[in-house]
Amino acid sequence: MLETLRKRASGWVAKILIGLLVISFAVWGVADIFTGYRGDDVARVGETEITVEQYRSALQREIQQVSRQFGSYLTMDQARALGLDGRVLGRLMAEAALDDEARSRGLGLTDQVVAESIQADPSFRTPGGQFDRSYFEQVLRSAGYTEGLYVAEQRRRLLRQLIADAVGGAVKAPAVLERAVDRYRNERRSAEYLIVTPAMADPVSEPTEEEVRTYFEENKPDFRAPEYRRIAVLHLAPEDLTAGIEVSDEEIRASYDRDPDRFGTPEVRTIERIVFPSRSAAEAALREIEAGRSFEEVAAEAGVSERDRVLGTLTRREVLDRGIADAAFSLDVDKVVVVDGTFGPALVRVTAIEKGDQPTFEELREAIRQEIALDRAASRLLDIYDAIEDDRAAGMTLSEIAQKHGLTYREFAAVDRQGMTPDGVLVELDDAQTVLAEVFRTDVGLEADPVKGALDDWTWFDVLEITPGRDRTFEEARAQVAEAWRRERTEAAVAAKAREIAERIRGGASLFDVAGEIGATPGLIGPITRAQIDEAFGPAAVQLLFTTPQGGVAETVSARSPSRVVFRVTAIDVPASAARDEALSANIANGISNDIIDQYLQQLETALGRSINQQALRLALGETDDF
């Protein structure tokens, strides 16, 4: 048989077929061998590859972490809208560059160093503060790691940190920069000002027909009708399920009795205590206080500082030592008793009492009933959710589903991306911003995923009809055009008046005299910092205040358009050189260090060579199923 194959392979037909096979390998497969670029690598830096699976896993962990911060799970579209996909890829490429650099320089760590770093990680310590191997293994399993995989990752992480520390770890904040930042933060300025309103400016006459038409033609895109969508909405919230839930009086009373302090405002007391080595020592100290010595003197003699003496202003539940809590909340102000506390015999004193506000059971009956009902409704909500999804899969409309389950169903004839109707009315829609974003991402007839709200509620929607955006005719937009023309002319008139007033004050006129002439009420502001906002003065004026010299006059928009503010700087308070702010120095040094490391990583990636496989990246993000 082999001989027959060899004979047939020597014919011209076989040679043509083999030639085509060679060409196909050159085009489709063999190129990978020569380029060294595997099809399942999302990116490569130097000799270090980032596989599709590595990228997917890192992105999934990032999505889970951010989802916990948001309180609801992010979809892939939402994660990409936040830029998580690019952030994760950038971090993985930076780590790959550091891994490649560590390998090329022959850097390494002993097993003992890696083990000690793991044992020192608070994540693997029991509540008592000790490293626990079984707890360590449990944490790894819950995070999807094996021990070997985690140890290898920890070794790479420590090597990266060594390189980063060598590059930017010994940065010290320059004193001149510290002073500049301190001045920027703490410089204070004061000013006198007045507000110029439309009533103080030259009146604006009604526009002529020609002026309105001209304004419309010059600003036609501003009056374009937006895209509107007719939508059907079904909403499910725990409150929708409470009507049929019965709660007995016994259950309400039991809930109240379990923790009555959670209702209203609990009583708080300022508590002090001095711990002694023995009860006899504590009782002797109490006799001294009764004889006239102060609590503070006894504490100082016992070597107890004020910080250790004062427990704080606390509720009964916030006092961890039950013995001290019971004693403190039975004392009158400035009375002292001996208590056998958790850490030994102690003198306890209360220096202040703030009475709480505790509603009666009858006052709270309905609120507790609703609380219990909502808790039960929340447990039923997922069952209703599943039933709705099953009904949708069976082809039922949202209207039919709402009728079946007794839920709220609404239709909106026309709504734009901002939730406005053609009449300029804002629609009432739960989680409107999130829901409308999804509404305008789908199309007529497409079944979109439900939107989870911030209060454990869900919204299903269908797009029933789309009215595309279009240019309005002049007749349709005339009222809006005339209003916009008047608004623009009014703003210009107020700005001209403000400039005129500013010039008069620069010329030597008193701001207060000018305010009296035009009927404005003058005001004083300051001393304030850049971070402070004054409601009347406005944020724009605050920023301009800090770029205007002493005695300088300026004008800008006020907090209430179209009014403007005119001001004169009356004082500049530059902070005096103070003691070094360690926290500020650390923040500045950390920022400089991060900048240096970022520049180092960019140069390192460029020197090593980096590439991104867009096809594999799309696969990792779920955009395609094959290469």
**Can you give the pLDDT at residue 99?**
83
Region 582-609: mean pLDDT is 82
Residue 104 is assigned to a structural domain of this protein:
yes
Residue 252 is assigned to a structural domain of this protein:
no
**Can you give the pLDDT at residue 58?**
85
Residue 544 is assigned to a structural domain of this protein:
yes
CATH number for the domain including 323? 3.10.50.40
Bridge partner list, 524:
192
Contact 476, 452 (CB under 8 A): no
Is residue 164 predicted with pLDDT exceeding 90? no
Q: What is the pLDDT of residues 267-316, one digit of tens each?
A: 899 999 998 989 999 999 999 999 999 999 999 988 888 878 888 888 88
Which tops the pLDDT comparison, 39 or 621? 621
Question: Could you say which of 448, 467, 486 is where a domain stops?
Answer: 467
Cα–Cα distance for residue pair 389/401, rounded to 1 Å: 10
* Structure-derived torsion over alpha carbons of residues 446, 449, 454, 455, reported in degrees to the nearest 10: 100
Region 100-105: mean pLDDT is 82
**Can you give the pLDDT at residue 240?**
77
**Can you give the pLDDT at residue 496?**
95
CB atoms within 10 A of CB 152: 12
52 and 165 assigned to the same domain = yes
SS in 3 state form for 63-121? HHHHHHHHCCCCCHHHHHHCCHHHHHHHHHHHHHHHHHHHHHCCCCCCHHHHHHHHHCC
CB atoms within 10 A of CB 398: 22
Residue 292 is assigned to a structural domain of this protein:
yes
Question: Could you say which of 405, 432, 467 is where a domain stops?
Answer: 467
496 and 561 assigned to the same domain = yes
3-state secondary structure of 547: coil
Contact 613, 622 (CB under 8 A): no
Q: pLDDT tier at 2 (50, 70, 90 boundaries)? A: very low
Contact 349, 336 (CB under 8 A): yes
114 and 64 assigned to the same domain = yes
Task: Give all strands (DSSP E) within 108-216, no chain letters.
Answer: 188-196
Closest C-alpha among 314, 328, 322 to residue 342: 322
Q: What is the pLDDT of residues 349-408, one digit of tens each?
A: 999 998 887 777 777 787 777 777 777 777 788 888 889 999 999 999 999 999 998 888
Is residue 469 predicted with pLDDT exceeding 70? yes
In degrees and rounded to multiples of 5, residue 211 shows phi and psi of: -65, -40
Residue position matching structure tokens 């085009």:
27
3-state secondary structure of 353: strand
Region 155-175: mean pLDDT is 81
**Can you give the pLDDT at residue 253?**
81
**Can you give the pLDDT at residue 147?**
81
In degrees and rounded to multiples of 5, residue 244 shows phi and psi of: -95, 10
Region 166-176: mean pLDDT is 78
Cα–Cα distance for residue pair 336/309, rounded to 1 Å: 13
Q: What is the pLDDT of residues 334-345, one digit of tens each?
A: 999 999 887 789
Residue 337 is assigned to a structural domain of this protein:
yes
Distance of CA 333 to the CA centre of its chain: 44
48 and 163 assigned to the same domain = yes
45 and 152 assigned to the same domain = yes
Q: What is the pLDDT of residues 204-252, one digit of tens each?
A: 889 999 999 999 999 999 999 999 999 999 998 887 777 777 888 887 7
Closest C-alpha among 603, 597, 609 to residue 45: 609
**Can you give the pLDDT at residue 20?**
35
Question: Could you say which of 331, 357, 383 is where a domain stops?
Answer: 357
In degrees and rounded to multiples of 5, residue 416 shows phi and psi of: -95, -175
89 and 158 assigned to the same domain = yes
**Can you give the pLDDT at residue 16?**
38
Region 14-25: mean pLDDT is 37
CB atoms within 10 A of CB 554: 21
Contact 229, 414 (CB under 8 A): yes
Residue 342 is assigned to a structural domain of this protein:
yes
Report CA-CA distances (Å) from 218 to 85, 203, 381, 485, 491.
42, 24, 54, 11, 18
3-state secondary structure of 274: strand
Residue 295 is assigned to a structural domain of this protein:
yes
485 and 502 assigned to the same domain = yes
Please give the structure tokens belonging to residue 469.
Answer: 């955006």
Please give the mean pLDDT across all residues of the chain.
82
**Can you give the pLDDT at residue 97?**
85
Query: What residue type is 582 in one-letter code?
Result: E
Please give the structure tokens belonging to residue 365.
Answer: 């009956």
**Can you give the pLDDT at residue 195?**
93
**Can you give the pLDDT at residue 381?**
81
Tell me how many domains the chain contains.
5
Is residue 416 predicted with pLDDT exceeding 80? yes
49 and 158 assigned to the same domain = yes
Region 445-460: mean pLDDT is 85
* Structure-derived torsion over alpha carbons of residues 66, 69, 73, 75, reported in degrees to the nearest 10: -40
My answer on whether omega of the bond before 562 falls inside 30° of 0, hence cis, is: yes
Q: What percent of the chain has pLDDT over 90?
A: 34
Contact 234, 320 (CB under 8 A): no
Residue 626 is assigned to a structural domain of this protein:
no
Q: Which domain holds residue 457?
A: 228-242+375-467
b/e per residue 28-38 (b: at least 16 CB within 10 A): eeeeeeeeeee
Give me the sign of the Cα torsion angle 163, 166, 167, 169: positive
**Can you give the pLDDT at residue 39?**
55
Is residue 27 predicted with pLDDT exceeding 60? no
CATH number for the domain including 96? 1.10.4030
Q: What percent of the chain has pLDDT over 70?
A: 90
438 and 540 assigned to the same domain = no
Is residue 198 predicted with pLDDT exceeding 60? yes
Region 24-48: mean pLDDT is 54
Report CA-CA distances (Å) from 9 to 4, 21, 26.
9, 13, 21
Rounded to a whole number of angstroms, the distance between the first and last alpha carbons of the chain is: 38
**Can you give the pLDDT at residue 546?**
92
**Can you give the pLDDT at residue 170?**
73
Return the DSSP state at 26: I
Q: What does DSSP say about strands 610-612 and 41-45: parallel, antiparallel, or unpaired?
A: antiparallel
CATH number for the domain including 556? 3.10.50
Strand order, beta sheet including 451-452:
408-415, 228-236, 458-467, 451-452
Q: pLDDT tier at 63 (50, 70, 90 boundaries)? A: confident
440 and 463 assigned to the same domain = yes
Closest C-alpha among 348, 314, 320 to residue 334: 348
523 and 609 assigned to the same domain = no
Is residue 17 predicted with pLDDT exceeding 60? no
Q: What does DSSP say about strands 344-354 and 268-275: parallel, antiparallel, or unpaired?
A: antiparallel
Bridge partner list, 347:
274, 338
443 and 491 assigned to the same domain = no
